[in-house]
Amino acid sequence: MEIETLLEQIKAYNPEADLTRLRRAYDLAAAAHAGQTRATGEPYVAHALQTASILADFHLDEDTLIAALLHDVPEDTSVPLATIQKEFGDAVARLVDGVTKLSGLRLGMEQTHAESLRKMFLAMAEEIRVVLIKLADRLHNMRTLYAIPPEKQRRIARETMEIFAPLANRLGMYNLRRELEDLAFKHLEPEKFKEIETLLAEDKDDQQAYIQQTIAILRERLAQEGITPVEMSGRPKHIYSIYDKMVRKGRDFDQIYDIRAIRVIVETVRECYVVLGIVHSLWVPIPGEFDDYIAKPKQNLYQSLHTAVIGPAGKPVEAQIRTVAMHQLAEFGIAAHWRYKEPDLHRDLALENKINWIRQLMEWRKDITDAGAFVDSLKTDVFQDEVYVFTPKGDIIELAVGATPIDFAYHVHTEIGHRCRGAKANGKIVPLDYHLRTGDRVEILTAKRGGPSRDWLNPSLGLVRTARAREKIRRYFRDQARTQAIAQGRALLEKEFHRLGLSQRNLDELAKSFDYDNADDLLEAIGHEDLSIQTVSVRLLEAERQAAPAAAVELPAPSVPKSPETMLTVKGVGNLLQRVARCCNPLPGDPVIGYITRGHGITIHRRDCHNILNTTIERERLIAINWEENPRTVYPVLVQVRAFDRAGLMRDISSVVSDERVNILSANALAGRQDRIAIITATLEIASADQLTRILNKIDRLPNVIEVRRVTGGA
């Protein structure tokens, strides 16, 4: 193809095109690609010419065609984009840059990836024309695919089948799609392609003659009814769709009715039905093959009557009958069949609306002659709520408009988000509040470790746009706060265990006793001071006492009643050793009775204890005792204080204890000579766990006290 041919082609539909400018673009492309050849052996610039020519078939504007001529220049030659910008202006430069960026995409093959690529293409259609150039580029590459190595052929053919053909379809470029599919199919399934191609070709002349004969019969009958169709033609064959139908409907080639197909285009809807009636009166309709898409348009607005009949010589023929307006709609894509021929593609209504909108634009194209207005009309705001950016590997990430590098980082991986410290867009460092733009290649600079900054959550700083990233940051801080609280809770609890001389116990059990699910929850509550350590200590001390009910003296023992009538039973019993019976374990408030043992003082039993009720015991040893009226049951607790010795220390401790109305049963102090550390040990008559922890806390707060703790066992 020569540039002259292209210029002729353009002039035919756009008399106002600046042919000199177009020729300059061609000259620049030819000079830039000088010496480069295509795999076909042609000079490289032939590809540029063909790409532009495909677009001229769609009557595209001058800038698009210039961009098409130059589309491979920045990527494959030493001529930079800046030169194109200088020579042909910003609009052309943007188009060429857009195509270059699309070429840089790594095209994956998974369906979801393909889907996002399709969306992405459309998003890039801030300049739809970029996508159109890319499609034309791909079509020409497919036409010359035979020239490249087979493995490469298959890869590109697959890509075409999975991405470019559906894309063309979505854009309503039905003819483009058809050709892309057939070319891809030819390389993906060469044998099947050949088989169908051969079947179609076998009686190609016969077929054509047959179609012409059918049309002639119909034309004559229509004339008798006073109908002159605008157009009657055989319908072009689409090898891939025949194959697809054979596979989908499980039919042989012979059973595909639209192998012989005619199309009748008339002026009015009424005429459509008249034609249908005549077709059905001429030939027998095949049951189940009639569809009235006029009365019931497809959701994509496609309208037409479809029927299949046993035509002349008993061969099946398909007929499509529609008005001129319906036909234009179909040809320009409004009825791009993408709904019913792609049942597998899940439908995206929002996307669909946007595409319908694009299609309308493409309709306008036919009416708008002013190039400037046309360009403006194509600057769409499709997908204005999303941006599509790339990872360094070329994967596509879809984000809300206004998304920042931090949003991107969290989208890639939570850890990358946490450690995000900086970012590059297209190789240049950008601030973290940078708004990502469709087409940006984003690289995140991460710290080796560490977490997000609290600033990220400050909305006025605009560092994070997406809810997803915000939630991940919040969770990080929540988790971090929890970890800290747990550590703090554990330290408090361990200190308390030591102070109270308690052995470490099963924390999960302890947690359950406070209605927490697990130890961590308990520790977190302690750390946050939702649960006071005091409360826990009291519970622990009580639990300890209950766990060893028969231990002598350390247990709460009832003191001997002081009322006169019971006093007389045992005199001075307060000085006797008392112990709680192991057999019945009476608690304060239980009805009790004393039993005087030989040499071990008095054992206190419940009155209903089986040992007491047993007739063999010596009844005279029983003595009546009662819990005190205002029970002040006490037990001795050994407490040790370590402190830097000072005057008045002992007095201060005594006054803390007496303020609590607690007796000191015994006390001794050891003062170290060298280190001036005093160790004071005292046995206190403690009434309750609560009281013990209170006293320990108060002593702890006295000046010079290093540590105060309860001493148990051999300690």
- The residues that touch Mn ion, with contacts defined as CB under 5 A, are 72, 137
Ordered strands of the 420-425 beta sheet = 428-430, 420-425, 442-446
Q: Which of 42, 76, 197, 707 is catalytic?
A: 76
Smaller CB distance to Mn ion: residue 137 or 521? 137
- In the complex, minimum distance from the CB of residue 6 to Mn ion, in angstroms, rounded to a whole number: 16
Of 643, 704, 702, 709, the closest CA to residue 671 belongs to 643
- In the complex, minimum distance from the CB of residue 141 to Mn ion, in angstroms, rounded to a whole number: 7
Smaller CB distance to Mn ion: residue 141 or 603? 141
| Cα–Cα separations (whole angstroms), residue 184 to 48, 65, 240, 573 | 21, 25, 9, 108
Burial of 63 (0-12, 13-18, 19+ CB in 10 A): buried
- In the complex, minimum distance from the CB of residue 68 to Mn ion, in angstroms, rounded to a whole number: 9
Q: Are 240 and 276 in contact (CB under 8 A)?
A: no
Burial of 170 (0-12, 13-18, 19+ CB in 10 A): buried
- In the complex, minimum distance from the CB of residue 57 to Mn ion, in angstroms, rounded to a whole number: 17
Smaller CB distance to Mn ion: residue 137 or 258? 137
Q: Are 678 and 672 in contact (CB under 8 A)?
A: yes
CA–CA distance, 81 with 73 (Å, rounded to integer): 8
CA atoms within 13 A on the CB side of 524: 12
Residues contacting residue 296 through CB under 8 Å, at least 6 positions apart: none
Q: What is the per-residue burial (b if ≥16 Cβ within 10 Å, else e) of 451-466? A: bbeeebeeeeeebbbb
- In the complex, minimum distance from the CB of residue 100 to Mn ion, in angstroms, rounded to a whole number: 10
Instruction: Write the DSSP string, 277-340.
Output: HHHHHHSEEPTT--EETTTS--TT----EEEEEE-GGG-EEEEEEEEHHHHHHHHTTTT-STTT
Q: What is the per-residue burial (b if ≥16 Cβ within 10 Å, else e) of 512-549? A: eeeebeebbbbbbbbbeeebebeebbbebbeebeeeee
Of 28, 697, 61, 39, the closest CA to residue 379 belongs to 61
For 693, the token pair is 């922890």
- In the complex, minimum distance from the CB of residue 72 to Mn ion, in angstroms, rounded to a whole number: 4
DSSP H helical segments within 556-670, as ranges?
A: 564-567, 610-613, 649-659
Smaller CB distance to Mn ion: residue 136 or 430? 136
Smaller CB distance to Mn ion: residue 45 or 211? 45
CA–CA distance, 528 with 546 (Å, rounded to integer): 29
- In the complex, minimum distance from the CB of residue 160 to Mn ion, in angstroms, rounded to a whole number: 14
Q: Residue 247, by phi and psi: left (phi above 0), alpha (psi -120 to 50) or beta?
A: alpha
Q: Which long-range contacts (CB under 8 A, 24 or more apart) does 509-514 make?
A: 510/536, 510/539, 510/540, 513/539, 513/543, 514/539
- Taking CB atoms, the residue at the shortest distance from Mn ion is 137
Q: Are 263 and 232 in contact (CB under 8 A)?
A: yes
Q: Are 202 and 160 in contact (CB under 8 A)?
A: no
Q: Are 607 and 586 in contact (CB under 8 A)?
A: no
- In the complex, minimum distance from the CB of residue 29 to Mn ion, in angstroms, rounded to a whole number: 11
Residues contacting residue 536 through CB under 8 Å, at least 6 positions apart: 493, 496, 510, 514, 526
Smaller CB distance to Mn ion: residue 103 or 380? 103
Looking only at the bridges linking them, the beta strands covering 664-671 and 635-644 are: unpaired
Q: Which residues pair with 316 in a beta bridge?
A: 310
- In the complex, minimum distance from the CB of residue 71 to Mn ion, in angstroms, rounded to a whole number: 6
- In the complex, minimum distance from the CB of residue 146 to Mn ion, in angstroms, rounded to a whole number: 17
Whether 76 is a known active-site residue: answer: yes
- In the complex, minimum distance from the CB of residue 464 to Mn ion, in angstroms, rounded to a whole number: 39
| DSSP type of residue 43 | B
Whether 75 is a known active-site residue: answer: yes
Residues contacting residue 549 through CB under 8 Å, at least 6 positions apart: 555, 580, 582, 585
Question: Helix 239-249 vs helix 190-202: angle between axes, to the nearest 10 degrees?
Answer: 100
Amino acid letter, residue 219: R
CA–CA distance, 383 with 385 (Å, rounded to integer): 5
Specify the 3-state DSSP secondary structure of 122: helix
Q: Which of 4, 18, 27, 75 is catalytic?
A: 75
- In the complex, minimum distance from the CB of residue 24 to Mn ion, in angstroms, rounded to a whole number: 20
Residues tagged active-site: 75-76
